[in-house]
Amino acid sequence: MLLENLAAKVTAAHSLRALCKQLDLDPGEIDFVFSCSEEAVGDRYNRGGGNLAKAIAEDVGCGNASGCDVKAFCAGPMYAMVQAASMIQSGVAKRVAVVAGGSLAKLGMKFESHVKKGMPILEDMLGSFAAILSAAKPGQVCMRLDSAAFHPVRAGGSAQAMAEELAEKPLAKLGMKLTDVDRYGVELHNPEITLPSGSGDVPRTNYLTLAALAVMRGQITKNQMEDFVRSRGMLGYAPTQGHIPSAIVYLGHAKTALECGAIRNALLMAKGSLFLGRMTQLSDGCSFLVDKNDV
Amino acid sequence: MNFENQGVIKRLADQYGPENLTVVLGNGEANGVEVFAETVTEGDPSFAGPLAGVALKIPVYHMLEEDVMGQVPEKLREEKLQLSALVIDIEPMHEVLEASRAKL
Amino acid sequence: MQKGKKIIAIGERDGVTGPVIAECLEGAGYEVVFQATECFV
């Protein structure tokens, strides 16, 4: 367990350190760090006590920051982003880092299926990420806090309910239809890894669900579904690290695509399988739109 | 199929008798359905779970197979299954599950 | 599918979930003795 926690800490710190270097940013400029890693820091008497964020902040040299953890299964990163943005919007902080380290436990999670088919153990990679948020200047790529959506308790866990709560409704609030989104970033697990282990093509199923909802709402026809998937979706490419593939892995690419004008907007949506924790039968999710701050 | 669910199925088979049970799946795609079917008919093919080496011979269906979906009242079917019916390609799953049921 | 059998519903988060299978089959007159939803990733 200590090794798992360490793996999460070190990989998250690596990402944040690399990002600061990339931005030529002094880590001391960061006010707060959210960690949304999948781990449980603490021993028998304080299992899950957490605040791996502060350990990461210390490791990277964010001397002026404190931090805390956001835990929400695979939707953790998306929640952390919303919380980070909210802190900035409300003036509580100016520059907030959101980081997640890799999940050691998920390495070789389904190794038997791969080895049985004569493949190497494909789940061989830890994933981690870091994002740094601050108030968006005019023209900059930004997170739309007015699009932040959650999946309420009463909604039920069906695939349809998830798509309604995380895509249809928040878009409708902005006067948008499902077809007004140029790109959806969903759970982007690499199907080359998941198909041989019988876990299916997760991104494709997610995109088909969005397309099906668009059909039901009369926005596209049934035979336009594949086109919807192809033009507004993408092939999965992330390692099966749980929270890392869950939408957040597309954020950097979305930023680049927005900056060069390849897309006008992107909706990132992640789901969390809370039922796996046995405290509830519910599913969960969180989403938000990114576009350019044209205000 | 995850080990916890295998364990519950085994317990329910002991409680009710496997001949009184039917498993209905909701898999989003065909990939993996065969393994699920085998798990509750011949036993866990990975030989790792509670149903390893336990051949329950319980018939397996998918919610969207005509035989199953057709029994659901129309209003409920429209409300709950319409989207899934658009997303899920039932044909390949139906073939796999028919073959599994034929072996019982 | 034979009527009168007790149903074990094993749903999938991105497919048809356990609670939805249970609700549909209860509506069809079956007794659902167990329902669960699996998540493959």
> Residue ranges of the domains in chain B?
3-102
pLDDT tens sequence across C8-28: 999 999 999 999 999 999 999
| Rounded CA separation B102/C6 (Å) | 20
Name C11's bridge partners: C37
Q: How many CB atoms lie within 10 A of CB B21?
A: 22
Identify whether residues A59 and A119 lie together within a single domain. Answer: yes
Identify whether residues A84 and A181 lie together within a single domain. Answer: no
User: At A15, which CATH number?
Assistant: 3.40.47.10
Amino acid B70: pLDDT: 97
Using the structure block, give the residue that is written with the tokens 């939805």.
C20
Amino acid A157: pLDDT: 85
Contact status of C14 with chain A (Cβ, < 8 Å): yes
Closest residue of C to B37, CA-based?
Answer: C10
Identify whether residues A114 and A204 lie together within a single domain. Answer: no
Phi first, then psi: what are they for B4, rounded to 5°?
-60, -45
Enter the ipTM.
0.97
pTM of the model: 0.96
Q: Do A159 and C16 touch (CB under 8 A)?
A: yes
- One-letter amino acid at A76 equals G
**Count: domains in chain A:** 2
For chain C, domain boundaries? 6-38
The answer to whether the CB of A281 falls within 8 A of the CB of A126 is: no
Identify whether residues A192 and A286 lie together within a single domain. Answer: yes
Closest residue of C to B40, CA-based?
Answer: C8
- One-letter amino acid at A198 equals G
- One-letter amino acid at B30 equals A
HEC states along chain B?
CCHHHHHHHHHHHHHHCHHHEEEEECCCCCCCHHHHHHHHHCCCCCCCCCCCCCCCCCCEEECCCHHHHCCCCHHHHHHHHHHHHHHCCHHHHHHHHHHHHHCC
| Rounded CA separation A28/B40 (Å) | 57
User: Can you count the helices (H) and strands (E) in chain A?
Assistant: 10, 8
Q: Which of A73, A106, A113, A158 to mutate to test the interface with C (most CBs of C within 10 A)?
A: A158
The answer to whether the CB of C20 falls within 8 A of the CB of C11 is: yes
Amino acid A295: pLDDT: 64
Identify whether residues A101 and A29 lie together within a single domain. Answer: yes
Per-residue pLDDT of chain A (295 residues), as tens digits, is: 899 999 999 999 999 999 999 999 999 999 999 999 989 999 899 999 999 999 999 999 999 999 999 999 999 999 999 999 999 999 999 999 999 999 999 999 999 999 999 999 999 999 999 999 999 999 999 999 999 999 999 998 899 999 999 999 999 999 999 999 999 999 999 999 999 999 999 999 999 999 999 999 999 999 999 999 999 999 999 999 999 999 999 999 999 999 999 999 999 999 999 988 989 888 999 999 999 988 6
Sign of CA dihedral B25, B29, B34, B39: negative
Range of the domain at A51: 2-133
Identify whether residues A14 and A99 lie together within a single domain. Answer: yes
Which of these three, A115, A133, A151, is where a domain ends?
Answer: A133
Give the nearest partner residue to A273 out of C13, C19, C20, using CB atoms: C13
Amino acid A156: pLDDT: 86
Q: Do B2 and C38 touch (CB under 8 A)?
A: yes
Which chains are adjacent to chain C, needing at least 3 Cβ pairs under 8 Å? A, B
In chain A, what is the greatest distance between 2 CA atoms, to the nearest angstrom? 56
Identify whether residues A128 and A10 lie together within a single domain. Answer: yes
